[in-house]
Structure 1
Amino acid sequence: MTHVEDEYEYEALPENSSLAASLIAGALAGIAEHAVMYPVDSIKTRMQIIQPTPQAVYSGVINAASRITTTEGARTLWRGVNSVIMGAGPAHAIYFASYEYAKQAFGGNGSGHHPLAAAAAGTCATVAHDAMMNPFDVIKQRMQVHGSIYRSVSDCARKVYHAEGMRAFYISYPTTLTMTIPFQSIQFATYEYLRKVLNPSGHYDPMTHIMAGGVAGAVAAAATTPLDVAKTLLQTRGESKDLRIRNCNGLVEAWKLIYQRQGLAGFAKGLQPRVLSHMPSTAICWSVYEYGKFLLNRENIDKQPIMT
């Protein structure tokens, strides 16, 4: 008598996995990704503001971290994190569930490299994810700016809605998609390629997911920083006293404004903290998610009947 073969490809979720199990794996990955590197993301947001207050002008990540913690307290770096946690769970659950379904549909689970299938699946997942996450991201950035007056996530949501309406939570959605679709396409294609190069056997290997995820996150973050600068402008425009910034209505107008005020250098603002935050956060996200898939498949294998 022999048991079911122990050598198995775990990369795709088992066919009989419940939808809830798949969603839980994605939700945990999303929360881990955003929460761990949140202070660096706060620094990135502040460095991307076009007209910051004199107290919020920083020469680099270390300088920003030092000044913020000494003048405003270390807790300031975590302002708005509750918004990310509230949104990241359900948004990433939908994100990974959509990715797995689309990758299978596009033939990305077959042997060999399938960068186009991975990129297309990443695009589908991104559209669904950003639709849910965008309002939470707006609240997060409003609370991250220097001198934020909001006491909590609910306080911020209520005041922004009363002052600017529902449009404030989605004014950046087209720009967000313009940024995140290439970001996720680059990230997924790079990750899937490196994963198969570093681990051709397809067996569970945490180090592979850490390395592939970190490199994929860094490459995608660097390539899409100009779009992220525009997104930050649109999501924080209501906090500016500059009428032109407050009335900025889209990506093209945001880019024109950034170029006029800061030149080409303006499109690279926040590049360092963006890469520094995405490298470990993407590595963490993929590691947590792949581990979740591994456990689900292990449970599935253990439950299969003994073969003779």
Structure 2
Amino acid sequence: MSNADTFIHLFAGGVGGTVGAIVTCPLEVIKTRLQSSSSEIHYSAVRSLRTASSNAGCSANHMYFTPEMNWNVYYHHQQCSSVNSRLAVFPEAVLPWPASSAQPKGALSCFRHLIDQEGCRALFKGLGPNLIGVAPTRALYFCTYSTAKRKFNQIMTPDSHLVHMLSAGSAGFVSCTLTNPIWFVKTRLQLNRNQNVTAWQCISNIYRSQGVVGFYRGITASYFGISETIIKFVLYEYLKSTLQQMRETQTDSPLGNYQAMDYMLAGAISKTVACCVSYPHEVVRTRLREENSRYRGFFQTLHTVFREEGHRGLYRGLSTQLIRQIPNTAIMMTTYEATVYVLNSLVNEKRYTGSE
């Protein structure tokens, strides 16, 4: 692969990832909030406390629950008087809430809660690290994928499913290893309910409390998530070639040359299937990245979430993830393919002019 081709794939991957990240950032924030353990405790406790307070009458103390990671914080006040300044804080273990009674809010309710409690800016929390990370991540991914694909094609059956699997696995391993600290900071910012916390303050706090190793919490879940990229790219390559063959046989059709539609459709379908199959690793990764998290490893977190919250806990936020990922992947892959096409055309035209 020439230097020009390498640059084309680097640049196209960065552009595609950046455009997709900006458009779908609000859905990313909502998905992360739904995946966190604090939302499960929050919704269950609010319902329980409101039920208890409504049965107690006007003179009883009403308690409102506001989670901060692994702590239960209660604000007490009289229903018929001004707010009391007393604040009681208890460790989560002292006041356990049964997972069976928890009813997490949906994406729409979470969206309204974010707007009401934290303002519109909350929908774009973590966008800075996202933009900083998405370009190099996608650039590394697509560059590694195209390079590995070329190498594997030389020693295996060209464009076979095995070639696509190995190429996608290599690209996923390289990209998530090098960029995990960026996504760790992004997740922390999205979970933080303090609007005044900046990315630099978050980085300083993580380094002070956990050192450099702290930035790699959840990387084991990211490695397990490589299976998603493998499934996605194998399906994407298969669907893309199938759709192109179908359009070539329909030369008289007005849609015969609409390759962008092939890329969008193939990207959306492949990402949907891959996301549904491997989604639990996303929940595990978010739990591992929480501040003061009680989760320690991939399998321990997977087992704990399943034991306490059931299979639904492992798929919390899936609908939001699909709503986000389908347009994100379609936009990203279409932008990537279009950028590669335009840059290749410019390079080939320059080479042709130079040869003349």
Q: TM-score, normalised by structure 1?
A: 0.85
Shift of 1:111: 9.9
2:323 maps to 1:276: yes
Q: Which residue of 1 aligns with 2:233?
A: 188
Distance in 1 between the 2:343 and 2:160 partners?
A: 24
- Identify the match of residue 45 of structure 1 among 3, 12, 32: 32
Question: Within 2, Cα distance between the matches of 1:83 and 1:164?
Answer: 19
Q: Is the 2:122–2:195 contact (alpha carbons within 8 Å) kept by the matching residues of 1?
A: no
Is 1:173 aligned to 2:219, yes or no? yes
Alpha-carbon distance in structure 1 between the residues aligned to 2:321 and 2:214: 24
Secondary structure of the residue aligned to 2:137 is helix
Q: Separation in 2 of the partners of 1:267 and 1:213?
A: 24
Q: Is 1:64 equivalent to 2:110 in the alignment? A: yes
| Deviations 1:23-60, CA, capped at 9 Å, x for gaps | 21111112122222111111111111123334687521
Q: CA RMSD in A?
A: 2.6
Paired residue for 2:9? 22
The aligned counterpart of 1:163 is 209
Name the SS for the 1:199 alignment partner: helix
**Length, aligned pairs only:** 287
Contact kept? 2:24, 2:328, Cα under 8 Å? yes
1:215 correspondence with 2:269: yes
Cα 1:168–1:149 change in 2 (3 A) is farther
Shift of 1:187: 0.7
- Mapping for residues 256-295 of structure 1, pairs under 5 Å: 256-295=303-342
The reply on whether 1:134 has 2:159 as its aligned counterpart is: no
Deviation at 1:271, TM superposition (A): 0.8
Residue in 1 aligned with 2:289? 235
Is the CA contact 2:114–2:120 (under 8 Å) kept in the aligned structure 1? yes
- Segments of 5+ residues of structure 1 without an aligned counterpart are 1-13, 241-245
Mapped partners of 1:97, 1:204: distance in 2: 25
Contact 1:141 1:232 in 2 (8 A): yes
In structure 2, stretches of 5+ residues that fail to align are: 44-65, 68-102, 249-255
d(CA) in 1 for partners of 2:173, 2:115: 36
Deviates more, 1:62-71 or 1:270-279: 62-71
Indicate if the aligned counterparts of 1:58 and 1:64 stay in contact, CA closer than 8 A: no
Q: Which runs of 4+ in 1 moved over 6 A?
A: none
Higher mean alpha-carbon deviation, 36-45 vs 293-302, is at: 293-302
Measured after TM superposition, the shift of residue 273 of structure 1 is: 0.8
Post-superposition offset of 1:67: 2.0
Q: Aligned-pair distance for 1:81?
A: 0.7
Which protein is bigger by CA-based radius of gyration? 2
2:166 to 98, 111, 120: 120
Offset, 1:217: 1.4
Cα displacement (A) at 1:78: 0.5
- The reply to whether residue 151 of structure 1 matches residue 138 of structure 2 is no
- Is 1:254 the counterpart of 2:301? The answer is yes
Question: Residue 346 of structure 2 corresponds to which residue in structure 1?
Answer: 299
Larger deviation, residues 208-217 vs 54-63:
54-63
- Aligned counterpart, 1:3: none
Structure 1 residues 42 and 233, CA gap change in structure 2 (3 angstroms): same
Match for 1:82 among 128, 144, 156?
Answer: 128
Identical residues among aligned pairs (%): 25
